[in-house]
A = this chain, B = another copy of it.
Amino acid sequence: MLDFDYYIPTEVFFGRNKIQRIAKKIKKYGNRILFVYGQGSINRIGLYDEIVKILNDNGIVYKELSGVKPNPRIDSVIKGVELCRQNNLEFILAVGGGSVIDCAKAISAGFYYKGDPWDLFLRKAHVLDGLPLGSVLTLAATGSEMNGNSVVSNADTKEKLVISSDLLRPRFSVLDPTYTFSVPQNQTAAGVVDIFSHVLEQYFSPIKEAFLQDRLAEAILKTCIKYGPIALKEPENYESRATLLWVSSLALNGLLSYGKIGDWATHYIEHEVSAIYDVTHGVGLAILTPHWMEYVLKESTTNKFYEYAKNVWGVEGSNLNKVSQEGIIKTKEFFYSLGMPSTLQEIGVKQDSLEEIAKKAIIFGDLGSFQKLNKDDILNILKNSF
């Protein structure tokens, strides 16, 4: 186990009607807030009206930033920063899925940075402070509700990049499973794949001794396998929605990675696919993950794949390679059973862009830690996924 510093300060209010908690929490930071949301789903479920009522009843002044897109754009971030500055706002309330929360985090960091917020994503500048923010989650997927990560896209340059800082962790997050009842099948499925992938990125690690973390990871993977299909079949099944919501948070709040190193190659490759094609993150991951697995499975990595197949999928047998292969097939079948496509071609990716995707994926250097991948490796994985 590696050394680590553990810090997960986000308060989570989990359950029906926990939205009533927000006013008191917000007022610790001020009475003037930016209310960030997406493209209308919060209106459809009545959440918009509910929040506006709470804000008004409690004398909280709000400016709205709406229309944040699924792969949130730096343009929205810039607009949000301006709104905060012009109106002396003191707090950001993000209501929606991971994209809305990620956008809010970038605004939070951008507020204290004098230059172009995109500089932070290009690693030309560091996050030095953040306007406090809170979230109300409506989609189980990214885990943004409990961590300090923000992924933002730049439509002009076709880039999709990440910043990460403990300063950007939400002060609180409201997780009311009923808000996710109306999430459509394809988004529910993509969310499950995203959660599953977050766990895999931390499970497959160069740190061989992390017994506890690996067993915790397997617990979360098994939970996705059990409840993903139930949520698809019965969208208003409270237990499945609640469990998926809570695993989405635990999968990426740090719990699984303290004491080890993650891989994240698949995530970085997918970011470049969706930077160009604006596909749903989980959909891209569903296609790429099994091909990443097949590519990096070799004699030196078989033990880990064997463990994965055995402990997560219950594959039996003593032939390491055969069991490992079976674990990969099970993964592929699981994603497919959720309704995910299995090739890049199906989602509109053009073959002649694979080279560009591979090139952009390594702008900060080779990818991966479980298995190092250079540009050629990435191109091979993309071709296999095509």
Contact = CB atoms under 8 A, between A and B. Distances in A.
Given A2-B15, A6-B14, A12-B5, A246 B219 contact: no
Interface stretch (A32-40, A44-52, A104-112, A207-215): A207-215
Interface string A1-14: 11111111111111
Contacts of A31: none
A322 interface: no
Interface in A101-128: none
A259 interface: yes
Contact of A1 (B8, B11, B220, B242): B242
A6 B255 CA distance: 14
A298 interface: no
Interface residues of A, number: 38
B3 A246 contact: no
A16 B250 CA distance: 26
Given A212-B219, A212-B220, A223-B212, A5 B1 contact: no
Interface string A228-242: 000000000001001
A201 interface: no
A134 to B, nearest CB: 14
A158 B66 CA distance: 62
A243 interface: yes
Copies of the protein in its oligomer: 2
A69 interface: no
A334 interface: no
A5 B2 CA distance: 30
Contact of A226 (B211, B218, B258): B211
A381 to B, nearest CB: 30
A215 B209 contact: no
Contacts of A6: 10-12, 14
Contacts of A227: 211
A347 interface: no
A152 to B, nearest CB: 27
A18 interface: yes
Contacts of A212: 219-220, 223, 243, 246-247, 250
Given A6-B11, A212-B247, 9 more contacts: A1-B239, A4-B12, A5-B11, A5-B14, A14-B259, A212-B246, A219-B219, A242-B259, A246-B258
Contacts of A11: 5-7
Contacts of A220: 212, 215
A199 to B, nearest CB: 12
Interface string A282-297: 0000000000000000
Nearest to A219: B215
A223 B246 contact: no
A216 interface: yes
Contacts of A3: 14-16, 18
A188 B15 CA distance: 39
Contact of A222 (B13, B18, B215): B215
